[in-house]
A and B are shown apart, each in its own frame.
Chain A
Amino acid sequence: MKSRNMNLREVYVWELPVRFYHWLNALCIVILCITGLIIANPPGIMSDKEAAFRFWFGDVRLIHFITAFIFLFNFVFRIYWGFVGNKYADWKNFIPLKKSQWKELLEVIKVDVFMVKNKPVGSIGHNTLAAVSYFALFLAFSLQCLTGFGLYAQMSKSFLPHLFSWVVPLLGGDMNVRLIHHILMWFFILFAIGHVYLVFYHDYIERRGVTSSMIGGWKFIEEDVAAAEEEKERSEAKAESV
């Protein structure tokens, strides 16, 4: 029997709003990609019905637009949570402004990408490379919302889409915007493939339960890492009170 004693501590990392955002976002992206691919190149579905008695393409577009609204507001909510959520949800994680973040980023590349180093990076929330890639993803989300609602503005009379009506002229017309929107969709698909693989990889090699942490919110963290983090928190709190 291969076994060993582990000194682990459970840490509550992902709060419920973060987990809710994650899964709603995932669902939205799946729906948006499927409907988006259909809108970009609709299949030739033949029918003996007259046009007036069919509306499937209209329905596909309707689903795409409704999901886009949910996606947008969910994203806005996540940005808000980046300012009020716990420190693992904080917006500062995603933008590497501190030297320590850059150091960790290099470390992660060494360990997880090129595997020239074996000792896992002891971050509790996102590691810096992951956080930076999510920041890029958030920028892509923003651009996708801008281009999507920019295109949608032309067929809408309501207030919100019209806030985006400047996008299409700025980016040089409808076709360019459609192309950017389409390419970004592929970026999300590729990102999702990499994302799912890397979650499995981390769980596989680090065994901290990262996959299920997005369901339950808790992660298994090594005792020494957790204790060091606690010590850091305590000294920060002390510095603040002084």
Chain B
Amino acid sequence: MKNKNLSVYEECSRKGVSRRDFLKFCGTFAAMMGLKVSGVAQVVEALDKKSRLPIIWLHLQECTCCSESFIRTTHPVLSALLFDQISLDYTETLMAASGEQAEKSMRDTMQKYKGEYILMIEGSIPTKNEAYCCIGGRSALQIVEEAAEGAKAVVAWGNCASAGCVQAAAPNPTGAKPAHQIIKGKPVVNVQGCPPIAEVMAGVVVHLLTFGTIPQLDSLGRPKAFYSRRVHDTCYRRANFDAGLFVESFDDENAKRGYCLYKMGCRGPATYNSCGIIKWNEGTSYPIQSGHPCLGCSEAGFWDKSPFYKREPALHAFGIEATADQIGLAVGAATVAGIAAHAVATNIRKKKLINNKGEEEN
């Protein structure tokens, strides 16, 4: 445990990361977090000097895709940050300890760093029956409430912890709830996405480490630095949208040409995320670039906004799947038929009126 007091930089240099690479990392992240030039120095200083940030990382009702996204980062500084620096005192999937030892590790952190540790939650919390998610004989709800008690701040990773994701989709059998609905009186950062982009997750951690405060949040609790712009507005295919050039089906010529996926149900116009800028897998690509419409995974309740490949939900109330236009036309036809019937009756009345020289009989 001797590396416990090393700073991020010391840890990195021990692993052979050059000062130059370290500074490049600091510069990149300061830029991504939306800091001004002087902010770079703050990031450098923090990572240079500050030692560990105690973290409890809970895995509840989830698929671990957030962790998967995070550990997919290949940046050496980030991996040092993740595996050595932020000191995941308790995280079910990555820690070496198990059983009693693991539970003890969590309790130790909660006592030793009371009011200092960051609680990171991956996954939603079942409320209908607490038994749906139990770890070490305790329910997710108990664990979260207990761990949140002494936490400095809470970071909700991904859509599960931020909005319930697929578990909370209708009919939500487990009564899954996101962290911010369970935890009261603590700042909760919703790092949205299914999963969130690795660099976004790292950016939030770097921010916590650098400033010791949570980043500025939008009205839905998401860090503004990463969630203030629509995928639509940062999309490289946007010019096709304004030009009215659309993909009509996934196998057409337009899809090959890389036209706008608006008509394929792209949620870009209603989704706030950094996919178009930071992209995925070290800036390789993102869904739209690969020809798939955005699913809107960083927005609450995106699973219930089916069908994914249509712009508007289908109206199931009418037995068959119908669109507003089809129903509109059908009701329109009925209206015209009603009018026609009414007009016939009116003409019978009119005829009588003419015969009576315009006098209506009562």
A56–B360 CB distance below 8 A: no
C-alpha spacing A52/B349, complex, angstroms: 61
Question: Which one of B233, B244, B345, B357 has the highest number of Cβ atoms from chain A below 10 Å of its Cβ?
Answer: B244
B247: nearest chain-A partner, CB-CB:
A44
Per-position binary interface string of chain A over residues 38-58, scored 1 when its CB falls under 8 Å from any chain B CB and 0 otherwise: 001110110101011111111
Partner of B301, one of A40, A115, A172, A182: A172
Q: Quick check: B313 and A175 within 8 Å, CB to CB?
A: yes
Which residues of B have CB within 8 Å of A183?
324, 327-328
Q: Which of B269-300 contact A (CB under 8 A)?
A: 269-270, 299-300
Given the complex, which residues of A lie within 8 Å of B100, measured CB to CB? none
Interface string of A115-159 (1 = CB under 8 A from B): 101111000000000000000000000000000000000110000
Per-residue 0/1 for A183-199: is the Cβ within 8 Å of any B Cβ (1 yes, 0 no)? 10110011001100100
Does B336 have its Cβ within 8 Å of any Cβ on chain A? Answer: yes
Q: Quick check: is B346 within 8 A (CB to CB) of the other chain?
A: yes
Closest chain B residue to A44 by CB distance? B248
CB distance A179 to B362 under 8 Å? no
User: Per-position contact with B for A98-129: 1 when CB-CB < 8 Å, else 0?
Assistant: 00000000000000010101111000000000
Contacts of B332 in A (CB 8 A): 186, 189-190, 193
Instruction: Answer yes or no: A212 CB below 8 A from chain B CBs.
Output: no
B22 beta carbon closer than 8 Å to chain A: no
Chain B nearest CB from A148 CB (Å) reads 14
A51 near B239 with CB under 8 A, answer yes
User: B346–A204 contact, CB under 8 A?
Assistant: yes
> Which chain A positions have C-beta within 8 A of B325?
37, 40-41, 182, 186
Question: What CA separation (Å) do A138 and B234 show in the bound complex?
Answer: 37
Size category of the A interface is: 35 or more
Interface centre among B245, B254, B262, B350 (most CB of A within 10 A): B245
B339: CB under 8 A from chain A?
yes
Name the distance in Å between A193's Cβ and chain B's nearest Cβ: 6
Query: Known: A119-B362, A154-B230. Is A179-B342 also a contact (CB below 8 A)?
Result: no
Is the Cβ of B345 less than 8 Å from the Cβ of A115? yes
A205 interface residue (CB < 8 Å to B): yes
The smallest beta-carbon distance between B71 and chain A, in angstroms, is 31
Contact B243–A179 (Cβ < 8 Å): no
Assuming the contacts A4-B358, A51-B240, A54-B244, asked whether A173 and B270 have C-beta atoms less than 8 A apart, the reply is: yes
Q: How many residues of B contact A (CB 8 A)?
A: 52
The answer to whether residues A173 and B299 also contact, given A120-B360, A155-B233 and a CB cut-off of 8 A, is yes
A9 contacts chain B at the CB level, 8 A cutoff: no
- Cα(A51)–Cα(B259), bound, Å: 9
Q: Complex formed: what's the CA distance from A136 to B211 in Å?
A: 54
| B312:A182 contact, CB within 8 angstroms | yes
Which residues between 318 and 348 of chain B lie within 8 Å of chain A, taking CB atoms? Answer: 324-325, 327-328, 331-332, 335-336, 339, 342-343, 345-346
Shortest Cβ distance from residue B233 to the other chain A in the assembled complex, whole angstroms: 7
In the complex, the answer to whether A186 meets B331 with C-beta atoms within 8 Å is yes
Specify which chain B residues have a CB less than 8 angstroms from the CB of A173 in the assembled complex.
Answer: 270, 299-301, 305
- A119 to B336 alpha-carbon distance, docked (Å): 26
Contact B360 A118 (CB under 8 A): yes
Given known pairs A175-B305, A178-B311, A205-B350, the reply for A54 and B245 (CB within 8 Å) is: yes
Instruction: Pick the residue among A40, A54, A197, A207 that contacts B311 (CB under 8 A).
Output: A40
Contact indicator per residue, chain B 78-117, by CB within 8 Å of chain A (1) or not (0): 0000000000000000000000000000000000000000
Q: Which of B231-262 contact A (CB under 8 A)?
A: 232-233, 239-246, 248, 254, 259, 262
- Evaluate whether A190 and B331 lie within 8 angstroms (CB atoms) in the complex, with A58-B242, A115-B345 already known: yes
Judge whether A57 and B353 touch: CB under 8 Å: no
Contacts of B246 in A (CB 8 A): 42, 44
Contact B312 A57 (CB under 8 A): no
CB neighbours (8 Å) of A182 from chain B are 312, 324-325
Indicate if A3 sits at the interface (CB-CB under 8 A).
yes
Q: Which residues of B contact A52 (CB under 8 A)?
A: 239, 243
Q: Which 9 A-B pairs have the closest CB atoms?
A: A186-B328, A57-B244, A174-B270, A58-B242, A54-B243, A51-B239, A51-B243, A182-B324, A4-B357
- Known A58-B241, A154-B269; 10 more pairs at CB < 8 Å: A41-B325, A51-B243, A51-B245, A53-B243, A173-B270, A179-B315, A182-B324, A183-B324, A186-B328, A186-B332
Q: Can you list 9 contacts pairing A with B, beta carbon distance less than 8 Å?
A: A4-B358, A4-B359, A6-B358, A42-B246, A51-B239, A57-B244, A58-B241, A118-B362, A175-B312
Chain A residues packing against B (C-beta within 8 Å): 2-4, 6, 37, 40-42, 44-45, 47, 49, 51-58, 60, 113, 115, 117-120, 154-155, 168-169, 172-176, 178-179, 182-183, 185-186, 189-190, 193-194, 197, 201, 204-205, 207
